[in-house]
A and B are shown apart, each in its own frame.
Chain A
Amino acid sequence: MHGSRIVIVGASLAGLRAAEALRAAGHRGHLTLVGAENRPPYDRPPLSKEFLTGERTPESICLGPTAHLGLTERYGHPAVHLDTAGREVHLDDGSVLAYDGLVIATGAGPRPWAGPLPATGVHTMRTLEDARALKEALTGARRHLLVAGAGFIGCEVASAARGLGHDVTLVSGEPLPLSGATGDEAAGFLTRLHHDAGVEILTRSTVTAVHGRTRVTGVTVDNATDITTETALLALGARPHTDWLAGSGLRLERGLLTDEYTRALDAHGRPRPDIVAAGDITRFPHPHAPGPISLGHWSNAVEQARCAAHNLLHPRRPTPYRPVASFWSTQYGVRFRAVGLPRYADHAELRELDHEKRRLEVAYYRRGHLVGALTAGRAARVTAYRSELARSLAGIAPLPASS
């Protein structure tokens, strides 16, 4: 692969980190970075937090510079088709990029709303443009924001909007916000933060209709209750950007499936050594989970991209990708830090819960083995959990690379 042509589709954190890793590992050949948005890669985690509150700016979230990487940068032109037999990526302007090696890092977008929507006032949160639009809507006089979906993005935006002095209603499909991702103990702690901050929380509830023609006027919850609102955020989860891969012969199942070595699988489940993938678009096997998993985390994009770059350059001695996942969230000034896979636990153990000091420590187990931990105000304790998870993963032999 050295000296050949490599195309990276997705000018994302994962795409940029793959480019850096390819160059650092000695790839001297052509390297092209393709992005759907008309801008260089930037950091997304601040969009739902510090960007809304004004602590971070578009300049400060830019991931550059890229000049030293010697890239051909193609921004503003999404890939629309992949020809794996001819080894070509087709862009929306008709241009065709031939490759010897391909990195797929097109990420994910907001899960779309199925029904009709008003022309304005309804937001999603994924891109800088999305965040700018919501920030503008939340600038000025006190208003009401309805947040549909209480995952991390929904909860973080609720927190930011309260911080800006707006009234917020948070609609959660789960028994508690984030209970699926973090379990009842952590979700209870977090729900109390929202409650104490004055957020109205509807649990086990779903927004079933959004009203208004030119501008949103309200929503209906569970086909029964109408709520008046001036602004709505639809934070209904992520949908991987796989549309452009339809007809490519790659295996798409709620994401792009890869093997344990970051290689894309074909329709027969065989890995393609010339195509690797990283970031939010991927679903991959993990020893601590029952099936392929998707991790929409910052650190996953970084680590998976590095592993994918190595495996593209060294197809005969690929490195398995089995990360200790790591993610964080900030809400109402409380920093949550988590490692591992709390979502896949069958048992959670509450080690500390102190609402007064805003401290939390939860350990997560699956079949009696530690699979994750989450803390708030107890950062020092995360390190030991992470080490234990790393040791546990190191003790499980990887599947052979030649499967």
Chain B
Amino acid sequence: MKITVDMSLCESHGQCVFAAPEVFSFDEDDHLVHDAEPDDALRAKVVDAVAVCPVRAIGIEG
């Protein structure tokens, strides 16, 4: 599973961080950082993160 985040859309609302904290987090400057190839066991949480992103910036491949 590969994750893409369109940083031109991301507004750091943080809904993905709540849905899948193992994959998404904020750095000290409020920028979103993410694990681009998380374990497949986290798929359900990532799908959730995609659904709750207010600007639909997150995509899943594979």
Is A45 positioned at the interface, with any CB of B under 8 Å from its CB?
Answer: yes
- Inter-chain contact B12/A43, CB cutoff 8 Å: no
How far in angstroms is the closest Cβ of chain B from A328?
A: 6
Q: Which residues from chain B contact A380 at a C-beta distance below 8 Å?
A: 25-28, 30
**What residue in chain A is nearest B56 (Cβ atoms)?**
A63
Q: How far is the CA of A298 from the CA of B52 in the complex (A)?
A: 9
Q: How far is the CA of A185 from the CA of B8 in the complex (A)?
A: 32
Query: Which one of A45, A298, A302, A382 lies within 8 Å of B51 (CB-CB)?
Result: A302
Q: How many residues of A contact B (CB 8 A)?
A: 21
- Inter-chain contact A337/B13, CB cutoff 8 Å: yes
Contact with A along B7-51 (1 / 0, CB 8 A): 000011111011001000111101000000000000000000001
Q: Given A328-B13, A380-B30, A302 and B25 touching (CB < 8 A)?
A: no
Is A386 positioned at the interface, with any CB of B under 8 Å from its CB?
Answer: yes
Within 8 A of B (CB), among A48-62: none
Q: How far is the CA of A324 from the CA of B52 in the complex (A)?
A: 14
Q: How far is the CA of A326 from the CA of B16 in the complex (A)?
A: 12
Q: Which residues from chain B contact A382 at a C-beta distance below 8 Å?
A: 14, 17
Q: Given A43-B54, A302-B52, A335-B30, A379 and B12 touching (CB < 8 A)?
A: yes
**What residue in chain A is nearest B32 (Cβ atoms)?**
A379
Within 8 A of B (CB), among A36-51: 43, 45
Q: Which residues from chain B contact A377 at a C-beta distance below 8 Å?
A: 30
- Inter-chain contact B12/A335, CB cutoff 8 Å: yes
- Inter-chain contact A383/B15, CB cutoff 8 Å: no
Q: How many residues of B contact A (CB 8 A)?
A: 16
Q: How far is the CA of A387 from the CA of B19 in the complex (A)?
A: 11
- Inter-chain contact A326/B15, CB cutoff 8 Å: yes
- Inter-chain contact A298/B14, CB cutoff 8 Å: no
Q: How far is the CA of A387 from the CA of B20 in the complex (A)?
A: 12
**What residue in chain B is nearest A298 (Cβ atoms)?**
B54
- Inter-chain contact B51/A379, CB cutoff 8 Å: no
Query: Which one of B14, B21, B28, B54 lies within 8 Å of A45 (CB-CB)?
Result: B54
Q: Which residues from chain B contact A378 at a C-beta distance below 8 Å?
A: 30
Q: How far is the CA of A50 from the CA of B18 in the complex (A)?
A: 24
How far in angstroms is the closest Cβ of chain A from B58?
A: 14
Q: Given A335-B11, A335-B12, A383 and B18 touching (CB < 8 A)?
A: yes
Q: How far is the CA of A379 from the CA of B29 in the complex (A)?
A: 8
How far in angstroms is the closest Cβ of chain A from B62?
A: 20
Q: Which residues from chain A contact B28 at a C-beta distance below 8 Å?
A: 380
**What residue in chain A is nearest B21 (Cβ atoms)?**
A383
Q: Which residues from chain A contact B18 at a C-beta distance below 8 Å?
A: 324, 326, 339, 383, 386
How far in angstroms is the closest Cβ of chain A from B5?
A: 15
Q: How far is the CA of A298 from the CA of B14 in the complex (A)?
A: 13
Q: Which residues from chain B contact A303 at a C-beta distance below 8 Å?
A: 52
Q: Which residues from chain A contact B15 at a C-beta distance below 8 Å?
A: 299, 326
Q: How far is the CA of A324 from the CA of B15 in the complex (A)?
A: 11
**What residue in chain B is nearest A386 (Cβ atoms)?**
B18
Q: Which of A337, A339, A378, A387 has the most CB of B within 10 A?
A: A337
Q: How far is the CA of A303 from the CA of B27 in the complex (A)?
A: 26
How far in angstroms is the closest Cβ of chain B from A176?
A: 25
Q: Which residues from chain B contact A326 at a C-beta distance below 8 Å?
A: 14-15, 18
**What residue in chain A is nearest B47 (Cβ atoms)?**
A24
- Can you show 7 pairs from A to B with CB atoms below 8 A apart? A299-B54, A337-B14, A379-B14, A379-B30, A380-B26, A383-B25, A383-B26
The residues of B with any CB-CB pair to A shorter than 8 Å are: 11-15, 17-18, 21, 25-28, 30, 51-52, 54
The residues of A with any CB-CB pair to B shorter than 8 Å are: 43, 45, 298-299, 302-303, 324, 326, 328, 330, 335, 337, 339, 377-380, 382-383, 386-387
What 6 pairs between A and B have smallest CB-CB spacing? A380-B26, A379-B26, A379-B30, A386-B18, A383-B17, A328-B13
Known: A382-B17, A383-B17. 15 other contacts (CB 8 A): A298-B54, A299-B15, A302-B51, A302-B52, A326-B14, A328-B14, A335-B12, A337-B14, A377-B30, A378-B30, A379-B14, A380-B25, A380-B28, A383-B18, A383-B25
